[in-house]
Structure 1
């Protein structure tokens, strides 16, 4: 099971927990047995969670993700109403309460309206968890980084080549659709190989790994291979929709960073330190040397397999006294 699938299943469990709580409230409001309301809500939560994570957030859900979020919520409310009617009958069959259905039908308009109103809260909570990220949301809630913590991370910077010229060619709106697909395609390879998306920035992103996770079976290199392989696999789709496929470059560096909560009115998890500045410089070096991926010697030295790594020079980084040795990594097919 991939990390992406595990993350999606965790989101489904969260949806089930949210809707179970809503089901208890609804059950109490309409005066129905607790076991019926809870099982009913768990089924609905599983259904809406699976729909959100494996359809809306999957390749087939591109049309929904391109819609205005409020319209998507309306569609999901309609899905909840359908799931409510299905789950209602499944619950009574499972619990052997078919004789109770006439009472349910009499109260159906009230129960359906009441649960639908509460489901809006559940859908919005799921949206918040998805937009912020389950791990980040949990860290903010329990205060993992309420006080600054020093950790060893590996950072990956990625950008599209020639994005300015490409934007002029495609136009602003088409370019955003192009970047949306590009970033959506690259996220699963990162997550599946132990990384997290730290930040989407313009036409690129910053991903992070815990130091040990990055070098376990050289996961960081496998992620790079998977990203290039994914875009290559989608070349026909890019050509069909946009008339051009993306080329991109990657820079990677790792070291000690400070991780801390940041902001006040809007809080997030921030990363600080020289390592992030050097990683950004690695991505710039990839452009300067006209290669697809540059990694620092610090990262190269921690790899188990340096077969496709070669030293190409050194880069001076502002604020760092000594030049940073850099290497080219030549992405290949996944093993």
Structure 2
């Protein structure tokens, strides 16, 4: 994941924690007519809110970063939440020490008091215990939102929250179908367990590349994945094409790891198509976002032609007309192709990286 993406994540969680801490400080001191001893005016409470928000936001971001880049990401989700909670406990203790130091700084015996803070004046303090309980609820709430973003994507989650998809609605979208080549042979040679680990490792790379190109992974289907953008976002900087070639490049950069574990680097083929789809929430006990359109059927049929046409990536004529041409990506016209189940042929183009 790029530095810019990590910076955005840091800013978002810092803002979220600052808002949460502002609510805590407001509630904590709204019941009291007097300010804490260390506070000269209301501005000091605002300063405390910002400090707490920045500290907890940074600890939250750091715990997420460590979980993403280490073996912890493969641990049970409950363990991951507990691991991240330790960071917040450290932060809460630091805040408590800082607040207590400010309160007792004028006392001549402040050195002795600092030594006693952790046991009597911090851990057994009702305000500290209340802060810990509040942190637990905030952390669980933010973790739930983060998990929902991973499941459905940021834009889709926002639209669900606003109720846009509870009634079917039309959208113009681009879809990219990525599928592993020779997957049946790989499954037979590796066995089910090792093949499933291969899929995990491959799609872990794909997820990172998708985040870089601001894409939403709509669905995983065994050894294949469907990726989607709103039309304008997918066309920007040729994201709908560059994602595939960046994915292949990332797999090659991880060549040593793949070859040591599986004996080869997996290869993928892809197809891209665009058009109008109907988006709706389906299901009752288990809900999901679904796209309804002939666009997805055409996409699947188009991807099946990669092998017969000897191409790694194919795009439809509808998409080719809207893509801005650049010199580093070569788009070759392959003529009209009759796809399975279609009455009329469609224009097909091959895409390669120069």
1:214-263 per-residue CA deviation (whole Å, 9 max, x = no partner) reads 22232322222212211111112222333321111111100111122222
Q: Aligned with 2:311: secondary structure?
A: coil
Selected match of 1:56 from 47, 67, 72: 67
Residue 330 of structure 1 aligns to a residue whose secondary structure is strand
Residue 195 (structure 2) aligned to one of 175, 179, 189? 175
Q: 1:65 to 1:273 in 2, by over 3 A?
A: same
- Residue 71 of structure 1, CA deviation: 1.3
Structure 1, unaligned stretches of length 5 or more? none
Question: What corresponds to 2:91 in structure 1?
Answer: 83
1:312 aligned partner: 334
Correspondence for 1:119: 135
Q: Distance in 2 between matches of 1:241 and 1:27?
A: 54
Distance of 2:200 and 2:290 partners within structure 1: 23
RMSD between superposed Cα atoms in Å = 3.3
**What secondary structure sits across from 2:353 in the alignment?**
coil
Superposed, 1:1-335 pairs within 5 Å as 4-5=5-6, 8-9=9-10, 11-13=12-14, 15-16=16-17, 19-20=20-21, 23-24=24-25, 27=28, 38-39=49-50, 41-57=52-68, 60-61=69-70, 63-90=71-98, 96-97=102-103, 99=105, 102=113, 105=118, 106-110=120-124, 113-133=129-149, 134-305=154-325, 308-313=330-335, 314-318=337-341, 320-332=342-354
TM-score, normalized by length of structure 2? Answer: 0.79
**1:130 deviation in Å?**
2.3
Aligned in 2, Cα 1:76/1:112: closer, same or farther, shift over 3 Å? farther
| CA apart distance, 1:151 | 1.5
Distance 1:52 1:138, change over 3 A: farther
Range with greater deviation from structure 2 (250-259 or 47-56)? 47-56
Deviation at 1:119, TM superposition (A): 3.4
- Looking at structure 2, the residues matched to 286 and 256 of structure 1 have their Cα atoms a distance apart, in angstroms, of 24
User: CA 1:117–1:222 in 2, change beyond 3 Å: closer, same or farther?
Assistant: same
Q: Contact 1:22–1:41 at 8 Å: present in 2 too?
A: no
Distance 1:197 1:158 in 2: 11
Partners of 1:39 and 1:91 within 8 A in 2: no
| Counterpart-to-counterpart distance in 2, 1:37 and 1:176 | 48
Whole-angstrom distance in 1 between the partners of 2:285 and 2:26: 31
Range that drifts further, 241-250 or 80-89:
80-89
- Partners of 2:178 and 2:53 in 1: CA distance: 40
Q: Residues 155 and 36 from structure 1, CA distance in 2 versus in 1: closer, same or farther, beyond 3 angstroms?
A: same
Bigger relative contact order (CA 8 A; separation at least 6):
1
1:44–1:267 CA distance, 2 compared to 1 (3 A): farther
Matched residues in 2 for 1:41 and 1:232: separation? 43
- Structure 2 residues without counterparts, runs of 5 or longer: 37-44
3-state SS of 2:248 partner: helix
Secondary structure at the aligned position of 2:323 is classed as coil
CA contact (8 A) 1:18 1:45 kept: no
State the shift of 1:142 in Å.
1.3
Structure-2 separation of matches of 1:114 and 1:174: 47
C-alpha distance after superposition, 1:16-61 (max 9, x if no partner): 157527845994799895668745642443133312443322xx23
The question of whether the paired residues in 2 share the 8 Å contact of 1:15 and 1:122 is answered with: no
Residue aligned with 2:305, SS: helix
Query: TM-score, with normalisation over the residues of structure 1?
Result: 0.82
